[in-house]
Amino acid sequence: MEKEPDKLAVLGAGLMGHGIAQVASQVGNYYVSLLDVNQELVDRGMKMIEGSLGKFVEKGKLTKEQASAALSRVHPTTDLREAVKGSQLVIEAATEDPKLKLDLYKRMSELVDVETVVASNTSSISITLLASATKHPEKVCGMHFFNPPQLMPLVEVIVGNKTSKETVAMVREVSERMGKDTVLCKKDSPGFIVNRILVPALNEAVFLVQEGVADPEDIDKAVKLGLNWPMGPLQLLDYVGLDTTLNITQVFMDEFQDSKFRPSPLLREMVRAGLLGRKSGKGFYEWASPGSSKTK
Candidates 144, 164, 175, 280; catalytic one: 144
> What is d(CA 268, CA 171) in angstroms, rounded to the nearest whole number?
35
How are beta strands 154-158 and 89-92 bridged, if at all? unpaired
Q: Which of 120, 156, 175, 247 is catalytic?
A: 156
Secondary structure element (H or E) that encloses residue 145, with its range:
strand 140-145
Sorted by sequence, the CB contacts under 8 Å of residue 203 that are 6+ apart come out as 245, 249, 261, 263, 264, 267
- 156 in catalytic set: yes
Distance CA 107, CA 102 (A): 9
Residues in CB range of 170: below 8 A, 6 or more apart: 1, 2, 4, 5, 89, 117
- In Å, what is the CA distance from 142 to each residue of 8, 100, 138, 171? 15, 17, 12, 9
Could you confirm whether 211 is annotated as catalytic? no
Of the candidates 52, 123, 124, 164, the residue annotated as catalytic is: 123
Per-residue burial over 114-140, b = 16 or more CB atoms within 10 Å of its CB, e = otherwise = eebbbbbbbbbbbbbbbbbbbebbbbb
Q: How many residues does the chain have?
A: 296
Q: Is 247 a catalytic residue?
A: no
| Distance separating alpha carbons of residues 129 and 161, to the nearest angstrom | 9
Instruction: Give me the catalytic one of 52, 124, 195, 264.
Output: 195
Per-residue b/e over 241-265, b at no fewer than 16 CB within 10 Å?
bbbbbbbbbebbbeeeeeeebebbe
Do residues 232 and 214 touch, judged by C-beta distance below 8 A?
Answer: no
In Å, what is the CA distance from 223 to each residue of 69, 245, 296?
41, 19, 22
- Active-site annotation, residues: 123, 144, 156, 195
